[in-house]
Amino acid sequence: MASIPFKSGDIVWTNFPFEDNPDRPGPVRHAACVVAVFTRQQARVATTAPIDDRGLVVGVYTSSQVRKFGDALPIGVIQVRSDRASQAGNQRPFFIDVRKRAFVPFARRFFPEIDKSNHGLIGPVDRGLWAEVLRQYKLVNDRHPELIVNVGPLRP
């Protein structure tokens, strides 16, 4: 497989790394939203870590624990209600937390369904939701970088 089959805005199955062991794949399959995909050559703009031949995937955390934050969502957290969730291939509402970012290689250990025909793609988010992901990502970068948690062996 020469290229990474995901694109920005895709929801995919990952083994999203945990903060307490940031370089290793998480122990369970977990959905993430792809923010960017880089070839090995392009990845030099996103990280100083060595990149394998397939490249780098940058994803942000998602969770179906929608009541975790209550009614007041913090900056960087986006609620995805039922109608939008189903458009993205999810069965129930979830949230996207752009503060938690994974920088991982496109490899089986981080993408448990890499060998399936769809490579673990759950579905794309709609254009409006993608615009909000980008807006929140930039907002956190510009105004609240102290909230960013980078995980993954290719993190900057």
In this structure, which topology does domain 10-151 adopt according to CATH?
SH3 type barrels. (2.30.30)
56 pLDDT exceeds 60? yes
Contact 54, 37 (CB under 8 A): no
Q: pLDDT: is 142 or 69 the higher one?
A: 142
Domains of the chain, by residue range, sit at 10-151
Sequence-distant (≥ 6) Cβ neighbours of residue 40 within 8 angstroms:
51, 52, 53, 54, 55, 56
Question: How close are the terminal C-alpha atoms of the chain, in Å?
Answer: 25
Query: What's the mean per-residue pLDDT of the chain?
Result: 90
* pLDDT of the residue at 26: 97
**pLDDT tens string 80-104:** 877 776 666 666 888 999 999 999 9
